[in-house]
Amino acid sequence: MQETTAARLGRRPAWLIDSADFWRLWFVGLVVFGVRWVETVAVGVFVYQQTASPFTVAMMTMLRMLPMGLFGAFIGAFADRMDRRATLIIVAAGTVLTSLALATLAHLHLLTVWHLALASFLNGVGWATDNPVRRVMIGDVVGAARMGTAMSLEVGANNASRMFGPTLGGLLLAGVGIEGVFTLSVALYAVALLAAFRVRYRNSFPSSTTEPVLARIAEGIRLVRNDRRLTGTLTVTVIYNVFGWPFTSMVPVIGQDRLLLGPEGIGILASMDGIGAFAGAVLMAMLCRPAFYRHAYVGGVLLYMVMLTVFALVPSPAVAGFALLFTGFGGAGFSIMQATLVYLSSPPEMRSRMLGVLSVCIGVGPVGFIALGWLADAIGAPWATAATGLTGLLMMLLARPLWRAI
């Protein structure tokens, strides 16, 4: 007797998602993540060599996150009215043009720090669309039941790029110069643009609505206030992005000044975070079930804070790399569950708005980058980084009544 489709699907591994559109959207994310990590180390080292200021290095990453806080809620409110595929194509085309401008300036030896600052902000605008546009598309394509698996594969792509991106960025900067970094960015973004064109997904959206954008945003905020699961999830997101994530901007500074590494060594060091995160994402895709989502989310943040503190204080490159391995492992649990928990806790008609609110919570990260950069200039990058990690642990303890409701 011929097997039914349901029976065949039931025996497939959990990580095998049979959707061409999912894999196209996944590939776009892989490229965006990869370019971001190639550029993070290369730009960080380049800016530090030009300015000798940890604060300025931190500002490059801060500017990439700032649009999430400024525009995330508005993008989320507009997203249900947009053709998401068209929006994705426009964003991908914008990244190609931005990297092309930087590559041209670099080849002409005209590239300056302010060019990088402007490009970071423009790329950040594109990044602010990712949750309410591309990740909502992923959820719609795979269905709510497979959102956790899809996010594991999504974060796995991010973390695979973190394994190779920083090393590649350091090698390109040392061997070719900053112009080689942005030339690679142009080529990779162009391939992502082609993948976006091939997406067949189309969302239904109203051609017109009388509900004002601010009213839609207010409705989303009311939902968060009245749902303790969402309140706890977003509180943890804020803590991570203010006290945890900003430490990544100090890896080039600590690597150069405390650990005495060159661009290649800094790239390899930064890649350790990605190796741990990739391993964590693979394990999550294979093993994690909904009953453990909260534990992966909260436990991941706690491990991340402890290990970034260890990284900041140890004098050995080997031990520092080992600590980064575990920041990646903890960060994987957090990153996978962040969008998953918000998506699953939100009514279908509110998901774009809720992921827009999530983008705003991620977008408060610039507060942490500014504080860390200022503190690093005042007391040194290692002690400033350790202080933020310990403060993050304290904030997680104080927020325990909120995240227990997740």
User: What pLDDT digit, counting tens, does each position of 213-262 carry?
Assistant: 667 677 777 888 888 888 899 999 999 999 998 898 888 889 888 888 88
CA atoms within 13 A on the CB side of 355: 29
- Specify the pLDDT at position 115: 93
Query: Residues in the chain, how many?
Result: 406
Cα angle 51, 265, 183; round to 5: 65
The residue with tokens 């060019």 is: 115
CB 403 within 8 A of CB 296: no
Is 18's pLDDT higher than 90?
Answer: no
pLDDT at residue 274 is higher than 50: yes
Nearest C-alpha neighbor of 128 from the set 224, 32, 248, 231: 32
Token look-up 């993008």 returns 75
Q: Is 372 exposed, middle or buried (0-12, 13-18, 19+ CB in 10 A)?
A: buried
CB of 170 within 8 A of CB of 45? yes
Of 92, 103, 101, which is closest to residue 42 (Cα–Cα)?
Answer: 103
Closest C-alpha to 402, from 241, 294, 292: 294
341 CB contacts (<8 Å, ≥6 apart)?
229, 233, 293, 294, 297, 406
Rounded to whole angstroms, how far apart are CA atoms 214 and 233? 23
- Report how far residue 394's alpha carbon sits from residue 373's, in angstroms, rounded to the nearest whole number: 20
Q: How far, in Å, CA of 10 to CA of 213, rounded? A: 42
DSSP 173: H
What pLDDT is recorded for position 104?
Answer: 95
Q: Which two tokens stand for residue 242?
A: 């203010």
Which of 103-107, 194-198, 214-218, 244-248 is least confident? Answer: 214-218
Residue 397, classed as helix, strand or coil, is helix
Average pLDDT, the chain: 83
Residue 239, pLDDT score = 95
Task: State yes or no: pLDDT of 130 exceeds 60.
Answer: yes
